[in-house]
């Protein structure tokens, strides 16, 4: 490739900064105004960058790196990953595998402890599980199913850069939808959108699932 071709490719990459910045906003679930406030620029400037009218300067790029941990190389050229990382986050992957096992137990195996944990995650109240013996017994006995590994990797790649405060609930929602699609459902209930409400009571933990959990 000659120098002219290399320069042409580089300029083309710079022209697509707006596209990558747009994906960044989507990943973090931010509006243009929210994003602008966090990097301390005007919303108008952000809009211009997204539309390819303006190119970001050094201060803007530095603010992105500090505020979001974004790889400047990725933003400018599209090369590498959004955060410039190549190593797998093992603890995050294990958390996903654990959530998959919980959802599998709750939806396919109808395990009461798994249902309770699942509802606590969905309601962002996992800390209420405390030292409940039934829940502890279930968690201690969890062994990730090898057939769920592809699902775990898919969820890992899809949620790696999402807001950490929303990760757990969003992953559980995705896992629940996956297993509910495999569950046997009453056709009439499905057509009429009338899910069955269930009540879960494990010692001190009680939840009326209602719309939070559908049992076919």
DSSP state of 104: I
**pLDDT tens track for 84-110:** 655 567 788 889 999 999 999 999 999
CA 142 to chain CA centroid, nearest Å:
22
Give the pLDDT mean for 71-93: 75
Compare 76 and 2 and report the one with higher pLDDT.
Answer: 76
Percent residues over pLDDT 70 in the chain: 74
**pLDDT tens track for 16-68:** 788 888 888 887 788 999 999 999 999 999 999 999 888 888 888 888 888 88
> How high is the pLDDT of residue 208?
42
> How high is the pLDDT of residue 88?
64
Domain 3-77 belongs to what architecture? Orthogonal Bundle (1.10)
> How high is the pLDDT of residue 84?
66
> How high is the pLDDT of residue 2?
44
Q: How far apart are the first and last CA of the chain?
A: 60
> How high is the pLDDT of residue 34?
92
User: Minimal CA–CA distance to 151: which of 121, 124, 182, 120?
Assistant: 182
Give the pLDDT mean for 141-151: 83
Q: What is the mean pLDDT of the chain?
A: 77
Query: Domain extents for the chain?
Result: 3-77, 90-208
Spatial contact of 166 and 121, defined as CB atoms under 8 Å apart: no
């Amino acid at each position: 490739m000659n120098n002219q071709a290399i320069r042409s490719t580089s300029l083309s990459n710079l022209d697509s900064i707006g596209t990558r910045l747009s994906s960044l906003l989507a990943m973090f679930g931010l509006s243009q105004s929210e994003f602008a406030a966090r990097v301390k620029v005007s919303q108008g400037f952000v809009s211009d960058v997204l539309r390819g009218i303006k190119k970001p300067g050094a201060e803007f790029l530095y603010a992105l790196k500090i505020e979001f941990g974004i790889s400047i190389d990725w933003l400018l050229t599209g090369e590498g990953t959004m955060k410039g990382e190549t190593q797998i986050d093992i603890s995050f992957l294990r958390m996903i595998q654990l959530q998959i096992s919980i959802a599998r137990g709750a939806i396919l195996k109808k395990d009461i402890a798994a249902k309770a944990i699942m509802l606590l995650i969905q309601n962002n109240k996992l800390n209420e599980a405390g030292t409940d013996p039934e829940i502890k017994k279930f968690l201690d006995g969890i062994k990730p199913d090898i057939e769920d590994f592809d699902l775990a990797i898919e969820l890992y790649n899809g949620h790696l850069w999402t807001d950490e405060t929303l990760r757990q609930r969003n992953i559980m929602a995705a896992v629940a939808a996956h297993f509910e699609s495999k569950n046997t459902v009453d056709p009439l209930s499905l057509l009429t959108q009338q899910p069955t409400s269930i009540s879960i009571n494990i010692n001190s933990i009680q939840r009326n699932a209602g719309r939070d959990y559908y049992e076919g």
